[in-house]
Structure 1
Amino acid sequence: MNAAHISSEGNAEEETADADERPADEASLSKDDIFHLLQNERRRLVLRYLRGTTEPVRMRDIAEQVAAWEHDTTVEELTSKQRQRVYIPLYQSHLSKLDEAGLIDYQKNRGIVERQPLADMVDQYLQDAPETDSSDEDESDAGLDDYYVGSTVLGFALLLGAVLELPFTTFLSGIALSACILLLFTVSTIKRLLD
């Protein structure tokens, strides 16, 4: 029991020394630093997991939840291989990078991770985009596709009618026919620009 207490004090002293070794200019991060850290999805998922925590958490719990999110499943349904494929890179690289940046306190030897106040700075970049915006864009793109498809079909009908000398196209010369087809696509393009 005494040995555990000494070990605990030793770790506390090491943590204090590590905190003292960090330069004062790490109190904030540049946007480039933030974007560099957040370019990796696993690091973003770690920060997402830690967003609601105030106490230290086990690294293993983080790895399991990140693996579950990556595989779109629950922690209980993960395979050992899925857990391991996430655990190892987190252990070897990702958590250390977040620790070096001051976003988390990662005690590698104990497998403990704690969110640091500096992590609040990156929360704004982790916000999920509202789904309504993307669905609106999809609907408007579908409408624009309809204009182009309609213009193509009508242009093809006019051209085919002129080639077959159908009655509704016989009054159009080659230049007039070309002008009509060009007008169809011009109207479609203007409609797209105005929307």
Structure 2
Amino acid sequence: MSATPNTTKSSDSTDEEASTKETLKEISDDKIFHLLQVKRRRDVLRYLQDHGGSAEMRDVTEQVAAWENNTTLAELSSNERQRVYISLYQSHLPKLDKEGVIEYDQSRGNVKLTPLAEQLKPYLDAAVNDTVETTDDSVISNTDEQASSESTPWLKAYQYLTVVGLTVLLGFWANISLFTVVGIQQWAAVIVALFGILSAAQILLAQD
């Protein structure tokens, strides 16, 4: 009788080798400094390390916002929470994911550390002890302000478009001729299309 090849063992060995290669991948010192120069990114990594390596983005956002504003989760305001959420969602989490430090499932809202994050731990510990905190306040401030200023025009655009939609709806409901010359289905299609175009533009520009 001929022996049957153990394909399962071979496959497991290949997976282990691939995993080992990924684990052994090194991040340059310059890259590590760039990733950790922003306090919000450091806080995200610190939170994940303290919570078993994975968490919901909502929980990460709330704790980072609480740390940043020197308050508790219960006393955190919606504005404080939203400001951090926008920054993490649009900038910091995608950046950490792109560098392979975390796995960020944007659709599910899950964040998880990867083996590469271990290489950042010594630097992160130093940052927690204020060795990095005192050297990059201007960088942190500029980065946060930039993220906030980049998100504000989009927020205003969505607000304006919402006002337009409500105006059309009220005008149609009040039977104003300016609005009733076109059917409500056509108005709805136009508004939905505008929201779609605006969303697509935001996504494409964020990727750039």
* TM-score after normalising by structure 2: 0.49
Name the counterpart of 1:92: 90
Match status 1:129 vs 2:129: yes
Q: 1:24-39 counterparts in 2 under 5 A?
A: 27-39=25-37
**C-alpha spacing 1:130/1:94, structure 2 compared with 1 (3 Å):** closer
Q: CA deviation at 1:46?
A: 0.4
Q: CA deviation at 1:56?
A: 3.1
Q: CA deviation at 1:26?
A: 8.7
Q: Secondary structure at the match of 2:124?
A: coil
Name the counterpart of 1:64: 62
CA distance in 1, matches of 2:22, 2:29: 18
1:20-57 deviations in whole A, cap 9, x for unaligned?
A: 9xx96992200000000111110011011011233531
CA contact (8 A) 2:48 2:54 kept: no
CA distance in 1, matches of 2:42, 2:122: 12
Name the counterpart of 2:44: 46
Q: Secondary structure at the match of 1:126?
A: helix
Name the counterpart of 1:142: none
RMSD of the TM alignment (CA)?
2.4
Q: Which runs of 5+ in 2 are unaligned?
A: 1-17, 132-208
**C-alpha spacing 1:31/1:84, structure 2 compared with 1 (3 Å):** same
Q: Secondary structure at the match of 1:75?
A: coil
Name the counterpart of 1:102: 100
Name the counterpart of 2:73: 75
The amino acid across from 2:35 in the alignment is L
CA distance in 2, matches of 1:121, 1:102: 11
Match status 1:112 vs 2:138: no
Q: Which runs of 5+ in 1 are unaligned?
A: 1-19, 132-195
CA distance in 1, matches of 2:24, 2:37: 19
CA distance in 2, matches of 1:113, 1:67: 16
CA distance in 1, matches of 2:32, 2:49: 16
Which has more radius of gyration?
A: 1
1:114-155 deviations in whole A, cap 9, x for unaligned?
A: 111111111111113389xxxxxxxxxxxxxxxxxxxxxxxx
The amino acid across from 1:71 in the alignment is N
CA contact (8 A) 2:23 2:116 kept: no
Q: Secondary structure at the match of 1:33?
A: helix
**C-alpha spacing 1:57/1:129, structure 2 compared with 1 (3 Å):** closer
Tell me how many residue pairs correspond in the alignment.
110
CA distance in 2, matches of 1:115, 1:51: 8
Q: CA deviation at 1:88?
A: 0.5
The amino acid across from 1:86 in the alignment is V
Identity of aligned residues (%): 52
CA contact (8 A) 2:57 2:111 kept: yes
Q: 1:169-184 counterparts in 2 under 5 A?
A: none
The amino acid across from 2:110 in the alignment is I
Q: Comparing 25-34 with 38-47, which one deviates more in the overlay? A: 25-34
CA distance in 1, matches of 2:100, 2:24: 7
